[in-house]
């Protein structure tokens, strides 16, 4: 495998791992059960979208599979609610932790998007801090009706 093929394989593998994670979260939250073929198809689609932006080679990926994928879309909140998506990223060596939040209205307008480097001792703590950040931002923005989406079932159950 040459260097170009190796980079493509690593990039595609990253998308597959990400979609496996999303499928796991959907199963845990009872939203949906994914079959393995669907995971690969969605990962392939995400990889193609990524490559279309950065102009990377896509030699080994089936274009037919890409065009036959049903796209999953983010659902806007009901009016007059605001929807917030949040997540945390954590590394056991504590050197790579981060929080991310996106706040959108019912017309899908992004009101706020934040990605920040942080420090915390576990992914559970990071997810809780992300949730805290959203609530503080919502208070600051004067939001009265809020819908929150998170992939941390444990934090949601605790709240």
Q: What is the pLDDT of residues 96-143, one digit of tens each?
A: 788 888 888 888 888 888 888 888 888 899 999 999 988 888 898 888
How many folded domains does the chain comprise?
2
**Measured between alpha carbons, how far is 78 from 75 in angstroms, rounded to an integer?**
9
Report if residue 58 sits inside a domain: yes
Report if residue 59 sits inside a domain: yes
In this structure, the answer to whether residues 149 and 112 fall within a common structural domain is: yes
Task: Assess contact for 147 and 81: CB atoms under 8 A.
Answer: yes
For residues 121 and 66, which has the higher predicted lDDT (pLDDT)?
A: 121
Question: Which SS3 state, helix, strand or coil, does residue 52 take?
Answer: helix
Q: Residue 73: its pLDDT value, please?
A: 61
**Measured between alpha carbons, how far is 126 from 51 in angstroms, rounded to an integer?**
30
Task: Assess contact for 57 and 8: CB atoms under 8 A.
Answer: yes
The model's confidence at residue 61, banded by pLDDT at 50, 70 and 90, is very low
Residue after which a domain boundary falls, among 16, 39, 67: 67
Q: Residue 43: its pLDDT value, please?
A: 86
Report if residue 74 sits inside a domain: no
Residue after which a domain boundary falls, among 37, 67, 97: 67
Q: Residue 97: phi, psi to the nearest 5?
A: -120, 145
In this structure, the answer to whether residues 109 and 150 fall within a common structural domain is: yes
**pLDDT (tens digit, 9 = 90+) per residue, 3-57?**
777 777 778 888 888 889 888 888 888 888 888 888 888 888 888 887 776 666 5
Report if residue 76 sits inside a domain: no
CATH of the domain at 143: 3.30.420.10
Task: Assess contact for 97 and 88: CB atoms under 8 A.
Answer: yes
The H or E element that residue 148 is part of is strand 146-150
**Residue 92 structural domain:** 82-158
Report if residue 146 sits inside a domain: yes
């Amino acid at each position: 495998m040459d260097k170009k093929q190796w980079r493509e394989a690593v990039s595609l593998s990253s998308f597959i791992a990400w979609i496996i994670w999303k499928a796991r979260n959907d199963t845990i939250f009872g939203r949906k059960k994914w079959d393995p073929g669907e995971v690969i198809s969605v990962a392939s689609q995400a990889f193609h979208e990524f490559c279309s932006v950065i102009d990377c080679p896509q030699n080994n990926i089936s274009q037919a599979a890409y065009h036959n994928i049903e796209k999953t879309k983010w659902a806007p909140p009901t009016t007059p609610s605001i929807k917030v998506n949040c997540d945390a990223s954590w590394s056991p060596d504590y050197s790579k932790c981060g929080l991310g939040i996106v706040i959108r209205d019912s017309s899908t307008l992004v009101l706020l998007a934040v990605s920040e480097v942080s420090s915390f001792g576990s992914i559970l703590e990071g997810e809780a801090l992300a949730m805290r950040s959203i609530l503080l931002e919502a208070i600051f923005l004067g939001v009265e009706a809020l819908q929150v989406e998170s992939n941390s079932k444990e934090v949601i159950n605790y709240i």
